[in-house]
Structure 1
Amino acid sequence: MRTVALGGTRYPYFYGYDCMDRIVESIAAYDADRFIVVTDDKVLTQHGDSLLTKLGTHAPVQVLSLPAGENIKSLPNLASHLEDAIASGATRRSIVIAFGGGVPGNLAGLVAALLFRGVRLVHIPTTTVAAMDSVISLKQAINSGSGKNHIGTYHMPEAVYLDVAMLRTLEDRELRSGLCEATKNCLAIRPHSIADLRRVLAEGDLTAPGTLLWLLEESLEAKVSVTGQDRYEQKAGLILEYGHTVGHAVEICDQRLRGAAGISHGEAVMFGMLAAARISAAVGGLTRDDVALHDELAQALGAPVAVPSGLDVTDVMNAVRRDNKRGYLPVSEGEAAMVVLDQLGTPMGSRDLPLVPISMDLVEETVASLWAERHGLSLHH
């Protein structure tokens, strides 16, 4: 067990191997009158039997499930879930259980935060991205029609319960998606861990319990180190947004194009880091070797190293302009507030506000150069 300490907020993170029975026993001890399980159809098919029948021996279980994909994080789905929960008999004693990856987890968090002005929330993550990133946060958000995570609030979970055995059932791409977030932590926060990350990638067995536990511990250490005094991730915790400005833009554009088959969140963040590294170097930060390290890790992770096929640079830039970090730092219309690195583990700006204004022209030029790499073109300036 680890304690997640975010400012003055603390909650337990329990993890073990093949321990679903113990997880159910722990949740049953909350004495809920109803469990509202928010998940997606893929998780429900893979893991539903291991949880729902056991939960149902303690209190009625209502399952709110939608087809897997980023598109479930929408206002209509949020409203539908809230109405269904109330109609089924939810009360202030009910518990919302976020069961799945980061997408249903975000939706569940907002359901819990809004239902009767806040009911208890428990996370049971089933993906590496959720277990190693999104549940280590108070942020609960859904997407607007214009961009990612524009609508949300903060809501503390009662606890997180992880059965590492469930992570071993993930497809290789999903495992690597979580590793992309761990890579972000190494590059932006804990560069001394890069050697261990390289070793994990070289060994190749991402499902080994020891590897998964190392990734979890590393992620917890990195995230808590920058949010310990910043529980809302609006100051020092913004370093966790490294790679997210361009990454979120590419993710939402690709999800619109391909739906659930589109680029994963972790892959998008890794691609966004390739752009951020190049921008960092262009404004006098990272060295050429640092940029090459980003490329090396992206290739080892199997993440995209060029703008995904079918995406238009203009569409990506329109999404960049609607980035959800707008307002933390005053910038002109022709600038984006971005996390860029002076050196590995050290952001430009300040530790208290690791954002700097970056010219939209430079961002577009960088995205265009990565688009050109897919098409075998050479851009000359």
Structure 2
Amino acid sequence: MTGRDWNERSVAMGEFVYPYYFGAGCLERITSAMAGYDTDQFVVVTDDHVLALHGEAFLSGLRRHAPVQVLSLPPGDAMKSVLHLNSHLEKAIGAGATRRSVVVAFGGGVVGNLAGLTAATLYRGIRLVHVPTTTIAAMDSVLSLKQTVNSGHGKNHIGTYHAPEAVYLDVDLLRTLDDKQLRSGLCEAAKNCLAIRPEALPVLRTRLAGGNLSSPDVLLWLLEESLTAKSSVTGDDAREQRSGLVLEYGHTVGHAVEMEDRRRRGTDGLSHGEAVMLGMLAAARISRGIGGLDDRAVAEHDELAHHLGVSPKLPDAVTPEAVMDVVRVDNKRGYLPVSGEEAAMVLLRELGHPYGSRDLPLTAVSLEAVKDVVTDMVRVPEPWHGSGAS
């Protein structure tokens, strides 16, 4: 087979190393490879949309090797709850899952998080395999040991760490994504370039400007770039609590906007990647306001957002006050001592160079400065030429 059909890379997370197999048109090879797990049951965690699109081809391949139990829910961030986690655990145990069983995450980032926490907590930890079907999962969330669900207060407050046995990707699965979901993962790729590998920005701009973002060649390049960027900061930081925190760029405001928008508009709200891109636009302006990024670097953020189709305006259903309520309980609290009027954020001093140190790329930012920028996002025209924090 050609390199376009089947490739292998190692993902190193501290002492954990797992293989990532990827190619185009390789779904049958993926299910054949999973026969090697000698399992008594595959527990497939997915969502109803993925199940309808790809379930028949994938599940029929798995069933040739072992019984399959399917745990599926309506798609959306609402899947990531303690209630649904408990339901999945009870159903898996009731259907005969054992310590020999393998949990298979078949879907996007939300599915992967719920499946990962299911695997991590079932019998205190059983095997996990990722088969991502979205760009956000393939290029970001599967490249992590973090398994998590949301609390009623904010995103990703409840979880643990659990390493997968492997990741398997057929990029042809990504070609069925709608434009919104396709670009969601590309926003995370843009984050990696801005925060970690600015030398890749010229190629990224060319790829984005060239269109046809769902072509296998473009997707495989983006995947390789994501693997390179993430491994450079997680190789010695399996839990992403030191150098890996740079991957949280754009997430403080982004997570808050995403959560509040989804509360109001459900699945019609911003995708995770779109919200993170919006969070990066805010972070760039906050940095400029404290003497960090210059106008050219801020414009680089704006240009990428434009190519990715992300509006710089806060969604109409979301208020600055609601965003700030979530920012105050951001899950990075505790890494850096801050006052009650500050938030610990990843901000760039210049592209590829965050404030703080490599081992703690965080800086304290006044909540007032954050709110000023978020408030500007309510009334910003397009394209955004706002002045940012002052």
Same fold (TM over 0.5): yes
Q: How many residues end up aligned between the 2 structures?
A: 381
Name 2:174's counterpart in structure 1.
167
Unaligned runs of 5+ in 2: 1-7
RMSD: 1.5
- Which segment is superposed worse, 221-230 or 301-310? 301-310
Deviation at 1:29, TM superposition (A): 1.0
Q: Does the alignment pair 1:153 with 2:160?
A: yes
Name 1:59's counterpart in structure 2.
66
Task: Tell whether the 8 Å contact from 1:243 to 1:270 is kept in structure 2 after alignment.
Answer: yes
Letter in 2 for 1:28: A
Structure 1 counterpart of 2:20, from 13, 17, 26? 13
Q: Does the alignment pair 1:32 with 2:39?
A: yes
CA distance in 2 between partners of 1:171 and 1:85 (Å):
31
Unaligned runs of 5+ in 1: none
Q: Does the alignment pair 1:289 with 2:291?
A: no
Quote the sequence identity (%).
62
Task: Tell whether the 8 Å contact from 1:133 to 1:181 is kept in structure 2 after alignment.
Answer: yes
Structure 1 pair 150–210 and aligned structure 2 pair: CA distance change class (3 A)? same
Deviation at 1:378, TM superposition (A): 8.7
Moved >3 Å (runs of 4+): 374-381
CA distance in 2 between partners of 1:208 and 1:38 (Å):
27
Task: Tell whether the 8 Å contact from 1:243 to 1:272 is kept in structure 2 after alignment.
Answer: yes
Task: Tell whether the 8 Å contact from 1:181 to 1:269 is kept in structure 2 after alignment.
Answer: yes
User: Which digits, 9 at most, give the CA deviation of each residue in 1:267-297, with x for residues without a partner?
Assistant: 0000000000001111111001111111111
Deviation at 1:304, TM superposition (A): 2.3
Deviation at 1:134, TM superposition (A): 0.2
Deviation at 1:44, TM superposition (A): 0.5
Name 1:339's counterpart in structure 2.
346
CA distance in 1 between partners of 2:312 and 2:386 (Å):
15
TM-score, normalization by structure 1: 0.98
Name 1:358's counterpart in structure 2.
365
Name 2:114's counterpart in structure 1.
107
Deviation at 1:372, TM superposition (A): 1.8
CA distance in 2 between partners of 1:198 and 1:19 (Å):
29
CA distance in 2 between partners of 1:175 and 1:308 (Å):
20
Name 2:265's counterpart in structure 1.
258
Task: Tell whether the 8 Å contact from 1:372 to 1:378 is kept in structure 2 after alignment.
Answer: no
Q: Does the alignment pair 1:50 with 2:61?
A: no
CA distance in 1 between partners of 2:196 and 2:300 (Å):
15
User: Which digits, 9 at most, give the CA deviation of each residue in 1:36-85, with x for residues without a partner?
Assistant: 00000010011101111121122111100000000010000000000000
| 1:168 match: secondary structure | helix
Structure 1 pair 294–378 and aligned structure 2 pair: CA distance change class (3 A)? closer
Matches within 5 A, 1:1-381: 1-373=8-380
| 2:257 match: secondary structure | helix
CA distance in 2 between partners of 1:202 and 1:322 (Å):
37
Letter in 2 for 1:222: A
Structure 1 pair 160–377 and aligned structure 2 pair: CA distance change class (3 A)? closer
CA distance in 2 between partners of 1:50 and 1:135 (Å):
22
Letter in 2 for 1:118: G
CA distance in 1 between partners of 2:255 and 2:386 (Å):
25
TM-score, normalization by structure 2: 0.96
CA distance in 1 between partners of 2:385 and 2:171 (Å):
44
